[in-house]
Structure 1
Amino acid sequence: MEKKKNKFKAIDFFCGAGGMTTGFRKAGINVIAGIDIDKECKETYERNNKGSKFICTDIKNISFKEFEKQTGVTKNDNELIFIGCSPCQYFSKVKTDKKKSEKSKNLLTDFKKFVDEYNPGFIVIENVPGILTKEVSPLNDFLVFLKSKNYHHDKAIINAYKYGVPQIRRRFLLIASRVTDKVALPIANTKTKLLTVRKFIGDKNTFKPIPARHKDTTHFLHTTAGLSDSNLKRILITPHNGGTRAAWKDTDLQIPAYIGKDNSFQDIYGRMHWDKPAPTITTKFLSISNGRFAHPEQDRAISLREGATLQTFNKGYKFYGNSIGSIARQIGNAVPPVLSKKIALSIINTK
C-alpha cells in the first residue's frame, strides 16, 4: 500500500473478487467492505484484501440499519466513497439471454437508494458502454438524480488500454462529487507500447508451456480448460501469433454457422497477438469458441493465471472457487486493479 495517507474510506458495492477494492487499497484508501450476492467471491475477496469485510447479500434486501451495523458508515461523510460496479450483462453487446440478465438492469437504481440515504462525498460508477447508449438504461434517471443532489460529475466511455491495462476494454466510467467541482476522470496515458500480451504473459519461466486441460494445483492456477477433438484439430492448424478460423474455413472443420461469414465474429477461435493488447477478458476467456482467447503459440486457450495477469491482478492474488468456470467468472467480471487504482488516485488528487 502506498505511503500517502488520506481520510478516504469506501464501500465497494457489487465487489466481486475485489478488483476495484484492491486498486483503491493500493492507492491508500480504506475500503471498509465489499458487498456482493455471489458467495463464491467471499474467500477470494477477503483473503486478498485483509481488513476489508465481504458482506454477502442482495442490496435489495439489506436494510439501512443493517448496512450501518455492518459497515459503521454515517450520513453526509465528505470522505466516504460509494463504488457501484453493478453486473452489466443486460446492457452488454455480448449476446446473452436477456431474460436471465434482466434482474441486473435495475441494480443502478438499487444503488441509488444508498446514495440518496447516505449522501457520500464521492461516487464511482463503472459499467459497460451500453449503459450510456441504450435508451432503456437507468443511467439517465441516475444523472438527473445526481444533479438534484448537487453532485458534480465527469463521465466518458474509456478504454482501459489507455490506463495501463493490456487489453482493449471499453467501459463507461463516472466519478461524481458533492464536495468539489474539480472532480475528473483519470488522465489517459498515450505511452502504451509495452501494453502487449508478450510483455505480460510471454515469460516462459513464469508461464511455463502447458497443454490444454492442464491442472495447476498451486495457488498460481496456471490451469487451462480442455478442448474437444474437433477444436484441438482446429487450433493445431490455426497460425501462431494472431491466426484466425479462416485457416480452416474450407475444410471439414468449418462450422456451419460461419459459412459465408468470414467477416463476422472474426475473433472467435482466434489466437492472441504477441505484440498487441489482448481482447477484452470476459468471463468466458477459458474457451476459444467465445473469442480470441487462444494462446499466441501454444495449442490451448489462455490459463486462469494468464487471464488474471492480463486483467492486471498481481501474480500473488489467490482465487478460490468450486470450479475453473467460477474462477474465470470472477476474473472476467473484475475491474482491472491498475485501472481502479488510477480512479482512486484521481479522487485523492481532487483535494
Structure 2
Amino acid sequence: MIDAVDLFCGAGGLTAGLRQSGIYVRAGYDIDDNCQYAYERNNHAAFVSKSVEDVPAAEVMAWYRPGYIKLLAGCAPCQPFSTYNQGRDTRSDRKWPLLYAFKRLIEGVKPELVTMENVPDVTKHKVYHDFVATLKGNGYFVWDEPVSCVEYGLPQQRRRHVLLASKLGPISLIPKTHSGKPVTVQDAIGHLPQLSAGECDPKDPLHRSASLTPMNLKRIIYSRPGGTWRDWPADLRAKCHQKDSGKTYPSVYGRMRWDEPGPTMTTLCYGFGNGRFGHPEQNRAISLREAATLQSFPLDYEFMPAEKINFKSVGRMIGNAVPVRLGEVIGISLMRHLETLEQDRIHA
C-alpha cells in the first residue's frame, strides 16, 4: 500500500524498520559505496550511489508503482546539527545543503507522506525551519517532536528528532510502547557468546571485538559497570584525565551496565576508549555484532562479506544508522495513519 524511497539510506537501518512495519521500500540513495552490500543484501531494495543533491525528482518518481501511496523518507547527515559542532562555524559545511536537497525532491515528487529523522539540535537551525515551512506551505500536516528511543523499546539511550508529514490528514507518532521497564543491555546482548579482546566468534564474523593494549587491558579489569576511570589506580589514569579539562568526561573508558539501556552508539562504538563501550562483564569492548544489536539490527544482518569486515567501516555504518526499531515505529505510525483515515472514510 505504501512505496518508499529512502534518501541518505546508509546501511539500511530506516529501510529495515520500514520494511518490518509492512512498507515496501523500493530504493535507497547514499554516496557511501561501502553501504551497498549491507543495504541490498538485507533489504531486497536497490542501492543507488548518488548524492541527493544530484538526483532529479523524475528519477525518484520512477521508483513508485501506480496506485501506491508515496513515502519519501530520509535522515540527512546530522554532523552540522550535532552538539559536537557547537562553537564551530559550519556554514560552509558541504552537508548543510542536503536538507534543502531533500526539500527540493519533496516539491518535485509531491509524495503523500514524508518522514525525516535527525539529532534534536536540528531544530536550532534555519535550514530545518525552512524545511518545515515548505511542507506546511505545500499542504502537509506536520508532526515533529524529540523522541527518546528507550521509550519505544530500543536498548540504548538515544534521543532523536522525528518528523512525520502527510497530505492526507493529521498525523502523529504512535504512543510510547515501553513506558515502564526499559529493554536493557542484558536483554539485548546477554545471550551472545563470550569473547576475549581481539577475538572473533567462528560462527558469526561480525561478533568480533577489538584488541586491547596491555595498558587498556589493565584499565578494563579495574573498571566496574557504570563506573568511571576514577575507579582505577592512579598509575593507570591517562594524562589527559589528570588535567581539569579531562575531568568532565567520566564515560570515556567506561563499562555498560547489564540492568540499563546502553549509551548512544557512535561510529567508534567498538573502542573501549571512545565512550562507555566496555562490555559489562567481559574484559573487552563490545563487539560489532553487539553494537549492531543495540541499534536493533537483526542478528543475521550482514554489513560486509566476512573476509572484508573491518572495524572502521562497519562501525561507521552502525553508528550512523537510524535504529531499526525507530524505523519500525515510524513505519507503524504511517500505516496506522492510513488505517485511521480509511476507518474515518468508511464511517463518514
Q: TM-score, normalised by structure 2?
A: 0.89
What secondary structure does 1:31 align onto? strand
Moved more, 17-26 or 189-198: 189-198
What letter matches 2:71 in structure 1? I
Matching of residue 129 in structure 1 with residue 117 in structure 2: no
Pick aligned residue for 1:304 from 288, 293, 299: 288
Pick aligned residue for 1:25 from 5, 13, 19: 19
Give the corresponding residue for 2:109: 118
Matching of residue 270 in structure 1 with residue 254 in structure 2: yes
Contact (CA 8 Å) 1:83, 1:124: kept in 2 or not? yes
Give the corresponding residue for 1:53: 46
For these two proteins, the number of residue pairs brought into alignment is 333
Contact (CA 8 Å) 1:161, 1:192: kept in 2 or not? no
Q: Point out the structure with the larger helix share.
A: 2
Matching of residue 340 in structure 1 with residue 327 in structure 2: yes
Contact (CA 8 Å) 1:213, 1:223: kept in 2 or not? yes
Matching of residue 223 in structure 1 with residue 217 in structure 2: no
Give the corresponding residue for 2:77: 87
What pairs with 1:1-351 in structure 2 (closer than 5 Å)? 7-50=1-44, 52-69=45-62, 71-72=63-64, 79-94=69-84, 102-132=93-123, 134=124, 136-181=125-170, 183-203=171-191, 207-216=192-201, 218-239=203-224, 241-248=225-232, 251-259=234-242, 260=244, 264-320=248-304, 323-351=310-338
- Alignment deviations for residues 23-66 of structure 1 (CA, whole Å, 9 cap, x no partner): 1111111101111111000010101011x111111111223344
Structure 1 position 189, deviation (Å): 2.5
What secondary structure does 2:160 align onto? strand
Contact (CA 8 Å) 1:212, 1:300: kept in 2 or not? yes
- Between the aligned partners of 1:266 and 1:101, the Cα distance in structure 2 is 33
- Alignment deviations for residues 192-249 of structure 1 (CA, whole Å, 9 cap, x no partner): 425000111112xxx222111113465451111122232222112112x22211112x
What letter matches 2:173 in structure 1? L
Contact (CA 8 Å) 1:270, 1:291: kept in 2 or not? yes
What letter matches 1:151 in structure 2? Y
Structure 1 position 335, deviation (Å): 1.2
- Alignment deviations for residues 161-189 of structure 1 (CA, whole Å, 9 cap, x no partner): 011101110000010111112x1012112
* Alignment gaps of 5+ in structure 1: 1-6
Contact (CA 8 Å) 1:90, 1:98: kept in 2 or not? no
What letter matches 1:148 in structure 2? G
Give the corresponding residue for 2:342: none
Check 1:221–1:190 CA distance in 2 against 1; reply closer, same or farther (3 A cut): closer
Q: TM-score, normalised by structure 1?
A: 0.89
Aligned CA RMSD, in angstroms, stands at 2.2
Moved more, 41-50 or 252-261: 252-261
- Alignment deviations for residues 126-177 of structure 1 (CA, whole Å, 9 cap, x no partner): 0001101x2x441011111112111111111111101110111000001011
Structure 1 position 283, deviation (Å): 1.0
- Between the aligned partners of 2:275 and 2:117, the Cα distance in structure 1 is 23
